[in-house]
Structure 1
Amino acid sequence: MATRRKLPNGTGSVERVKYTPQGKVRVNQYRARLPKSKGRKDIGFYKTYTKALDALINYKEPEPEITFKEIFQQFKRSNEFLKVSSKTQARHEKSFQRFEELHDMNIHDIKYSDLQDVLDQMELEGYEKPLGNGEYIHMEYSQNSIKRLKIVVSKIYQRAIKENLIQLDLSKYLEVGGVGIRRHKETFTKSEIETLFKSIPHNPDAMHVLVMIFTGMRTGEYLYLKTNKIDLDKNQIKDFGEKTDAGKTRKMYIHPRIKDIVKYLIKQSQTGNIVEATRLNGETYIPSDTKFYKDIYYPALEKAGIKRKIPYTCRYTFATIAHQSGVSDKALQKLMGHTDFAVTANSYIQEYDDYLYKELQKI
């Protein structure tokens, strides 16, 4: 057999290692090893010399792990951040906090949809503006307010590109909504809701998604819902709301389709909270909204085979189905916790294509 030519310096080496440390004959006997300059690390064992050599030549170092938050911290130490006004710095900080669920994610693992969902959530939820008499009015964020989120993402990605951590700037593709730009707000379809019910045996967290759909609760309301606020005999959930006075004192009625789910969640609760998570050491705790999204809500959709939809989709689905089922405007306004039905109608009720089609048949 011809002697193989020595590999150039800095390439690494391929050598035959016939036996394991235990003395057994290896199936894959050719070891590919990185050069000394890269720590002489083994990259694997292969069946033939050629395969080991190919692996060595085509080897790429794994991308360095760095989180979304770490890059933002780098940006904060940069002259670009330090030279702007304190007001602008505060806006960058506030915008960054909107991306809380992405803070600890590796920048390489973040997808476009992860970023866009945060902008969509801000657009969809709006905010409650106090009128000074104990009443609130629902407002939508301006395009400039939402654009600030895109700007801070752009700063993070530009910093990562300068450090040669990534090549693609996802911020360029983000869509900014807001007042004057009303994009379609998704809802869960009837078949998706049925799919969630069917998935419960192997996907118990789907129960939380279903309760949110059938109650129309805001994420924060559901996340911190105490079991003592639930009256199974009267089929009511009371005094659980947030934001407006109408929201804080409102009642929600437990739909028959989720009553057994609610009953089960109450029975399982160890903290007195409807939503719980378990640490690796077995300790039960109430998760933050970030943990809820990352470990409960989105995985439940994935396990059910349903495309990613933001948590507020549950609230829009509730409002739309209730409206189309004939719930009166006043009743729906109270169920949603709004002080004005116009808020419910303009910001929450979505129109299904099949519903519109049926309405057209009446003409």
Structure 2
Amino acid sequence: MNRNEKVELLTYLIESDKIDVVRMQEEMEQKRKLELLSMHPFEIWQGKDGIWKTYLPDEKAGRIFRKRKTEKEIQKVVVEYWQQEIENPTVKEIYDQWIAKKLEWQEISKATKDRYDRQFKLCFQEFGKRRIKSIREDDIEDFLKCAIKDHELTQKSFSNLRTLVLGIFKYAKKKKYISYSISEIVKDLDISRKAFRKVRRTDEELVFMEDELPKIQGYLETHADIKNLCLLLLFKTGLRPGEVVALRKESVKGNIISVDSTEICYKDELGKDTYEVRQFPKTEAGIRDVILPEKYLWIIEKIKLLNPYQPYLFMQSGKRLLEHQIRSRLKTVCKNCNIQSKSPNKIRKTYSSILLDSGVQESIVIQMMGHTDIATTKGHYYRNRKNEQEKISVINSVVNL
């Protein structure tokens, strides 16, 4: 029997009163009620006072107490609660569903989920409690503009927030909770650049200056333990800190370092930081061969002498060095050299600035950096490394001024 025949038969049975539609509807409602009651994690009981009692889930308190005079009334409270949870979830519940799917489909890493969770916790404390069907299009614009103001967002942090909003509301539309297009709302946003917090940093904060580099590299060479050799290799290759601690012995062939992995950090089920090596880098362009200048091959040889038998290039006491350990060591080294404290990523900016100042071909620069285009390198990594006196000298030497 095909579908049309089934529909025709059902229509005949209903019209000829062969089926009690009212009774069937009641049975369906009762089945639905039992399904919703089975979702309830708390006991429903009758107290000694004859009152029927239970708890409902609550995000803040964990649970909230409810009581009614009859069992039927308390069951109605429970059924209505779970009916609303299913048909009109909160923004937070949709976010959780969306993130779970992204992880299941391996579209994001656990580390990315942790970053999204931090952004959600910062910006969605109140908005996340709202039921999705109660949110109008203008509510979203108000929320975004208030978030920029209340949390003093930079353009970059707003971009991260926008990613979450797009993901949450696209998922909500797919599930038919809403009908409007979040993409159109976000595209039509009228937000002035002046609304964003500006982060102004001097070149001295972003790179190691020309007069600082000999100091710090000299210190690393004369105090050449495994962590300092790791920092020295960063200065000579421009690797990302997560990439350098993920290097295996076989990644290095002569002065060619093959990069195809990076360290990731995420929270486990207990909220504890977990560190893993992921077998693909931060970006597709991150899969690359980086050249170590031949005069610094001694760094690799010394590393292998300190760590001859372990699988990873940088290990200590049988454990792989972690990115945060390298970051901490750099802070100590900067202090010992009387240099302003800088992060490992500032080594990377220093490396790219040296390449560009030295006139290295742009295609080689982006390969060494693992970037997709030179605009990224020049826009975010290229900085002046001369101090004030050196800049004055350079300008004074320009003949045509």
Normalised by the length of structure 2, the TM-score is: 0.44
- For the pair shown, the structure with the greater C-alpha radius of gyration is 2
Normalised by the length of structure 1, the TM-score is: 0.48
Task: From the two aligned structures, give the one with the greater helix fraction.
Answer: 2
